[in-house]
Amino acid sequence: MGVNFHSVFFHLMAVLASGFALAVVFSNNIVRMAFYLVASLGAVAGLFFLAGADFVAALQLMIYVGGTLVLLIFGVMLTARGPFADLKTSPAQWTVVGLVGGSLLAVLLYAASSASRWTASGKAASAPPDQVAPTSAPLGLALLGARVDKLDPKQNSASSRAGGMSGYLLPFEIVSVHLVVVLIGAAYLARARRRATPRPIAANSPPDDPSQSSSVS
């Protein structure tokens, strides 16, 4: 009997993604958490590849793992000094969080397992083909407003939920402007300021002295 490599790799990537996500939750060292997160998101990119979304998977690797997480790790390096590298949560908080998380997981697992009941007809699952169908050109054209994947009238019938031919040009433009705004805003917020001394929160220190020098921006 043959081995379905798609299933083997799916299970491998799923175990890696979930395992490293759990490691992020249960680890206390912030730097190790960052690297477990990198591994988890890399495994998620593998899952995207297996689901046939090759462009989105490469996008995940480039932007999420190679960009966002590098940014996160920079932030960790800049703030993980001494006592802040290992901040522990109290067991009481863990209990409450565990209950909430557990119930949420139960609800989501029930919903996931009922997915097979959503099929109208009992069509059997087919093994995926060896070659991935190209998605970058249809994605690009959809972003420009032309849904070339919906030209097939058989797919576009009223019974299927694939109606609607409008592309994603407006969201594309909005997201582009949004990125520029966020870039400017984040650069402004994180600019270097000179402060005399960083002020700890008043719980442990005397009230604020009004004669203390304010920040020079």
Partner 1 sequence: MADFFANWLPNWLALTLAALVHVTLILTLALTAAAAFTWAERKVAGRIQDRLGPTRVGGRFGWLQAVADGLKLVSKEDVVPKNADPLLFRAAPYVSFCASFCVYLAMPFANGWVAQPLDIAVFFILAVAGLEVLGVILGGYASGSKWSLFGAMREAAQVVSYEVPLALCAVIPVMVAGTMDLVAIGNMQSGWAWNWLIFHDPFLFATFFVYFTCAVASVNRAPFDLAEAESELVAGFLTEYSGFRWSVFFMAEYASMFAVSMLASILFLGGWNGPLPITVWLGLAPNPATGDAPHALLAYLGNFLGMVNLLTKATLGVLVMMWARWTLPRLRIDQVMTMCLKYCIPLAAAMFVGAMVYAYAFPAGLIFRVGGGG
Partner 2 sequence: MNPLAEPVHLTHYLVVGAVLFVCGVTCMAAKRNAIGVLMGIELVLNGANLNFVAFGSPYLQSTSPASIGLDGQLMALFVIVLAAAEAAMALAIALCFYNAHATIDVDQADELKR
Contacts with partner 2 in 51-110 (CB under 8 A)? Answer: 51-53, 55-56, 59-60, 63-64, 67-69, 71-72, 74-76, 78-79, 84, 87-89, 93-94, 97-98, 100-101, 104-105, 108-109
Q: How far apart are CA 215 and CA 217, in angstroms?
A: 6
Give least dist CB 217 to partner 1, A.
Answer: 22
Kindly indicate which of the ranges 95-103, 133-141, 162-170, 190-198 contains the residues binding partner 1, using the contact rule CB under 8 A: 133-141
Asked whether the beta carbons of 21 and 42 are under 8 A apart, the reply is no
Give least dist CB 211 to partner 2, A.
Answer: 17
149 belongs to the binding site for partner 1 (CB under 8 A)? no
Site residues (CB under 8 A) for partner 1, limited to 159-198: none
Residue 31 touches which member of partner 1, partner 2, none, C-beta under 5-8 Å by kind? partner 1
Give least dist CB 66 to partner 1, A.
Answer: 4
Binding residue for partner 1 (CB under 8 A) from 59, 141, 143, 148? Answer: 59
Structure tokens given for 201:
């929160």
Cβ neighbours of residue 39 under 8 Å, at least 6 residues apart? 16, 20
Q: How far apart are CA 14 and CA 40, in angstroms?
A: 9
Residues of this chain that bind partner 1 (CB under 8 A): 2-3, 5, 31-32, 35, 38, 54-55, 58-59, 61-62, 65-67, 69-70, 73-74, 77, 132, 134, 136-137
